[in-house]
Amino acid sequence: MNEVRQITKDDAYDAVAPDDFPAMMEPERYNSRSTAFDKIISATHDHFW
Please check whether residue 28 lies inside any domain of the structure: yes
Residue 42 confidence (pLDDT) above 80: yes
Total domains in the fold of the chain: 1
Q: What is the mean pLDDT of the chain?
A: 74
For residues 20-39, give the mean pLDDT.
77
The residue segments making up the domain with residue 33 are 22-49
* Percentage of the residues of the chain whose pLDDT score is greater than 70: 63
Between 46 and 11, the more confident residue is 46
User: Is the pLDDT reported for residue 31 higher than 60?
Assistant: yes
pLDDT at residue 7, rounded to an integer: 57
Residue 17 lies in a domain: no
Structural domain includes residue 10: no
**Triad 48, 41, 10: Cα angle to 5°:** 130
For residue 43, being part of any structural domain is answered with yes
